[in-house]
Structure 1
Amino acid sequence: MKFLSFALSFFEYKMLWPSYFAICKILYKVDENKVLFADAFASDLTDNMTPIYTALEKRDGLSLFKSFPKDMSRISRSKEALNFLKLYSQCGTLFLTDSMLPAYAVKKRKKTKVVQLWHACGAFKKWGYSNLSGSFGVNEKKAKIFPMHNCYDLVPVSSAEIIPHYAEAFRCSEDIIKPLGVPRTDEMFLKSTPEKIILYAPTFRGENVTSAHNDSIDIEKLKNAFPDYEIIEKYHPFVKCKGENLNTNEILKKTEVLITDYSSIIFEFSLLNRPMIFFAYDLEEYRKERDFYYPYEEFVPGPIVKNMDELIEAIKAAIAANTSAASLVTSSNISSVGLSTNSSISTTTTKFDFASVSKKLDKYMSACDGHSTERILKELGF
């Protein structure tokens, strides 16, 4: 089965897609007023695409197009790849937010600009060419057969600090990576008030989109421990049929306490300066598979917990900290990253240090100020 899948991928990447694109280039001319939004792993506009799309809808003379598979089945994605290539051969600008193999398999037309609005802020866990030795993603051999990220003209990022990491992940020049901000963060600068919501938003486990899963938390135990709070699950898009299908920004703005693990959602949430807890029950295993751009224990701006009892104690501390900046809550063996400890109390007592959140993550989000969409469009000449 794996051989057949590889053979089909090889046929598409090396023969079908280049041949089809060559025909499309003969049939169609590039129209600089045609703008294409495409993602191989989403069914519609992603969070990062929406602000750009909305802004361009208001501009006269532009024609906006979308290319998204109906579902994640091989048939649907292969069919949409051909539709994408047809549109790609004509557009003046292409916006992506994830890997797009059909775009990498063909030689880009000179008049077309490709913009990679990568779906994550900051630089947390490794991806792309930064992670070819682990079990996640592709290995060095496959990366040579199926080159990735080879067609970009512009990669907007959340700060200058992370440019070297993106250059490594995409194997591209640092010159095309610019600290223009991340479009979806613009909304986070609008006034918001937290509600009694605890959000669990982890990344996924598994090698790829078809094997993605996450089954680590006892939600019922959390609900019983915090009956006055709404416990919301927001899983990675790869984890299907689980959690709630909610707008990420909308729910983040209402969230009082965030529980995550290795997800880049921490960068957006840091803009709100509210407590976050890191449920890293499989840290060593994950470190071997994916690894991080920075030492995890030093990087995360919140307590690291390994089991449900520690998690519940950390949430109590977070709620108390939200109620009063001086509130102290007893905890049991919780790693004190992002917390301050008062050793004068007989038991291990902690309080959330909100200053550490902005202090640790500001340099990774310095280009996000509520005007990212505007800067990106200006950079592109729109």
Structure 2
Amino acid sequence: MKLKKMIIYLILSFCRLFLVFMKQNPNKITFISLENDTLSGDFSLISNKLKQDGKYELQYVLVKFEKTLLGNIKYLFVCIKQFFAINTSKLVLLDYNNYVVSKFKRKNVKVLQLWHATGAIKKFGNVVNRDYTIENYDYVISNCDYFVEPFTQAFNVRPEQVKVTGIPKTDRLFKKRKIQQDKKTMYKQYPQIKGRKVVLYAPTFRGRLMDGLHDGYINLDKIQQSLGDEYILLYKMHPLLEDKIISNHKDVICCNGMSIKRLFSVTDILISDYSAIILDFSIFMKPMIFYVPDLEEYRKDVGLFVDYEKEMPGPICKSEDEVIKIIEDNRFDYKKIEAFKNKFFKYQDGKSLGRVIHLIDDIMGGE
């Protein structure tokens, strides 16, 4: 890792010599991602709206990082491409942290961090051990006031640089017609789920992007067999682990690569852990179970931005047996779910995209 970082640093330092010949385009916005090689989530929504408005020149440097020899070589060339795209732009939009921005960005290039999650349950960014310090961000969007302080720490910005606009991709969750459309689509694709209670398992990843990732380890077959035919289980691994298959049971369906929002439309009970999707699911006012057999280890090694036992709006389980009993007993505190939703969603109007576009217009119109 040190050798790779040194090589990238030397090459980009050489590229810096060409900055004197590179003009900044005052009308250019560049989208940069290391998580997706196509437009998705907030990037897709914002890009489509900006294209409709037709006011700006848009560029995209999108790649899905793979921890392989070929992936590392590709990453080197992507960093070079990012360098020239970033330093000729007025505004750069990020959905993940970025080495080139942190180390090789011109001062007059503005950076807006559109973090890919609705919030942050687990610690990340500059709060945890990393290979480089995150810096040079100008703006970060947040879903609520609670995350302003965690984001200032994680992204190395001042509180006033964190803008509470809401997250564009959550807008869909407030539109009942779209939820019904998603439900119909799910029933058509998976007719076996209709008329049954649907349990969705959707965890975050463990590990680090550059060092290797793994999942939270759960025996879904055991849970399904214990619950019986009345229930059917779906699972969706984190996008960075979407090739991971954790069950071949006929009533445990792999939904990797599918939209989590579409899965929510048919979900009766969500099982998750430290993933920020629990924030999104709270909108539905449905039960959540938190399967965290590694809670003490995770809290020590990674850390949490929330008081987990106090804030989580559902039972905390350390084993599959506990999960099974909670589901069978069907006892959930809906008032706590509502309080959780209201705490972590400042806006519940489905208009966050408009607020982010307004912020972008303000940035592009400024000096």
Smaller-chain TM-score bracket: 0.7 to 0.9
- Helix, strand or coil for the counterpart of 2:169? helix
Corresponding residue of 1:160: 145
Instruction: Read off the aligned partner of 1:16 and give its amino acid letter.
Output: I
1:321 corresponding residue in structure 2: none
Residue from 280, 305, 312 that aligns with 1:300: 312
- Identity %, equivalent residues: 28
Please name the residue that 2:247 is paired with.
none
Name the structure where helix makes up a greater proportion of residues.
2
Report the Cα offset of residue 109 of structure 1: 4.3
Q: Is 1:255 aligned to 2:267, yes or no? A: yes
Q: Distance in 2 between matches of 1:61 and 1:162?
A: 31
In structure 2, relative to structure 1, the CA distance for the partners of 1:230 and 1:49 (3 Å cut) is farther
Aligned: 1:16 with 2:6: no
Q: Work out the CA distance in 1 between the residues paired with 2:26 and 2:234.
A: 43
Q: Post-superposition shift, 1:70?
A: 5.4
Contact 1:123 1:364 in 2 (8 A): no
Corresponding residue for residue 264 of structure 1: 276
- Residue in structure 1 matched with residue 236 of structure 2 by the alignment: 234
Aligned to 1:147: 133
How many residues align? The count is 331
Q: Is the 1:277–1:303 contact (alpha carbons within 8 Å) kept by the matching residues of 2? A: yes
Asked if residue 369 in structure 1 is aligned to residue 349 in structure 2, the reply is yes
| Offset from partner CA, 1:228-280 (integer Å, 9 cap, x none) | 44422111122241151111222223322110011111111111111110001
Q: Could you tell me how far apart the structure 2 residues matched to 1:255 and 1:368 are?
A: 20
SS of match in other structure, 2:222: helix
Write the distance in 1 (CA, Å) between the matches of 2:118 and 2:3: 34
Please point out which of 119, 123, 127 is paired with 2:116: 119
The one-letter amino acid of 2:206's match is R
Question: Is there any run of 5+ residues in structure 1 with no aligned partner, and where?
Answer: 133-137, 319-350
Residues 233/370 of structure 1: CA separation in 2 closer, same or farther (3 Å cut): same
* Cα shift at 1:178: 1.2
Aligned-pair Cα RMSD in Å: 2.0
CA spacing shift, 1:309–1:70, aligned 2, 3 Å: closer
Corresponding residue for 1:201? 202
Measured after TM superposition, the shift of residue 90 of structure 1 is 1.9
The residue type equivalent to 2:125 in the other structure is G
Q: Does 1:93 align with 2:55?
A: no
* Closer, same or farther: CA 275–70 of 1 in aligned 2, 3 Å: closer
Which residue number corresponds to residue 128 of structure 1?
A: 125
Structure 1: distance between partners of 2:203 and 2:144: 23
Alpha-carbon deviation of 1:197? 2.6
Counterpart CA distance in 1 for 2:23 and 2:284 is 46
SS of residue in 1 equivalent to 2:241: coil
1:190 matched residue in structure 2:
175
Determine the structure 2 residue equivalent to 1:336: none
Per-residue CA distance 1:141-186 (angstroms, 9 max, x = gap)? x4xxx321x1212111011122111111122111110111111111
d(CA) in 2 for partners of 1:71, 1:290: 22
**Structure 1 residues 241 and 209: CA distance shift in structure 2, 3 A:** farther
Q: Name the residue aligned to 2:39.
A: 45
- Counterpart of 1:354 (choices 334, 339, 342) is 334
User: Structure 2 CA distance, aligned partners of 1:303 and 1:83?
Assistant: 47
Contact 2:30 2:61 in 1 (8 A): yes
Task: Report matched runs for 1:57-72 at 5 Å.
Answer: 57-69=51-63, 71-72=65-66
- Cα pair 1:278 1:305 within 8 Å, conserved: yes
The answer to whether the Cα contact below 8 Å between 2:126 and 2:155 also exists between their aligned partners in 1 is yes
